[in-house]
Amino acid sequence: MDSEQEKAMEVLEAIPQTDKYILKKPVIVAGKTISVLTLDFDSLTTKDMEKIASKPECAGNVTEFSKAYLAHIVAKAAGITIHELRQFGIADGTALTMRAQAFLLGATSETTEI
């Protein structure tokens, strides 16, 4: 692993791997306030991945580095719609997609190499 990859892994490993995420800025969607999300990445399947990959906004960008793809993964893991997720503040959206990326790439506190 080169130094650039090592730095990227350090950033990913620093991301908390808990199933709860507290929004920095709660949002109101359809009359309900969303302030905490439960992320269940482990429940997702390859079928979910394929379904998300087939979405028009993910076409040509289906990688663990595509924000559109990762946003759909987050929405599915959180049990919300992509339209609800798109109402979140940019800081929350970024943090959530980084958690999805870290999960997909296998970054954990015990990970030393991918």
Which residues neighbour 29 within 8 Å (Cβ) at sequence distance 6 or greater? 80, 84, 87
Distance (Å, rounded) from C-alpha 114 to C-alpha 104? 11
Q: For residue 99, what are the domain limits? A: 3-104
Residue 91 located in a structural domain: yes
The pLDDT of residue 64 is: 80
Kindly report the average pLDDT of the chain as a whole number.
Answer: 82
Say whether pLDDT at 4 is over 80. no
Helix/strand/coil percent split, the chain, to 5: 50, 15, 35
Longest dimension (CA), the chain: 49
The pLDDT of residue 26 is: 94
The pLDDT of residue 92 is: 96
The pLDDT of residue 10 is: 60
Residue 110 located in a structural domain: no
- Overall domain count for the chain: 1
Question: How do residues 19-71 score in pLDDT, each as one tens digit?
Answer: 889 999 999 988 989 999 999 999 999 999 989 988 888 877 667 888 999 99
Which of 57, 39, 58, 56 lies closest to 104, judged by CA?
39
Tokens of 32: 């309900």
Distance (Å, rounded) from C-alpha 35 to C-alpha 28? 9
Residue 58 located in a structural domain: yes
Residue 16 located in a structural domain: yes
pTM attached to this predicted model: 0.76
Residue 43 located in a structural domain: yes
Residue 15 located in a structural domain: yes
Q: Are 25 and 92 in contact (CB under 8 A)?
A: yes
Residue 60 located in a structural domain: yes
